[in-house]
Amino acid sequence: MAHHEHDVDIEVPEGWTVTDDGKMIEIEIETEDFIEAVDLFNELAEIAEDQMHHPDFHIEEYNQVRITSWSHDIGGLSDRDEELASSITDVLRKRDLV
């Protein structure tokens, strides 16, 4: 479990790490190509909208994907990050990306 200054313990799903400052969680994955990365982001954007919690999406090079989540309103991690990361991980598993 991750622990941070707001005294919230969260379960970090497989593949996710807590940043050094303890304020964010992130995952890095490799997709087959740029189109798959964009398609993945579109699918994850719908989940983020449904949960009203929006991560940062990054495509580096053409297929290196990094997703970062934190709760902007508290400046750190919350249960919303755990829930979103879990939902994202479910999608990544279905796509055989984790």
The pLDDT profile of the chain, 98 residues, written as one tens digit per residue, is 444 444 467 889 999 999 999 999 999 999 999 999 999 999 999 999 999 999 999 999 999 999 999 999 999 999 999 999 999 999 999 999 99
Q: Note the pTM of the prediction, 2 decimals.
A: 0.88
What is the strand order of the sheet 56-60 is part of?
A: 17-18, 25-30, 64-69, 56-60
Closest CA relative to residue 47, chosen from 85, 19, 16 = 85
Residue 3 has a pLDDT of: 42
Q: Which fold has domain 2-94?
A: Gyrase A; domain 2 (3.30.1360)
**Token pair of 86, please?**
């879990």
Bridge partner residues of 9 (DSSP): 3
Return the ∠ at Cα 39 (arms to 35 and 41), rounded to 5°.
Answer: 120
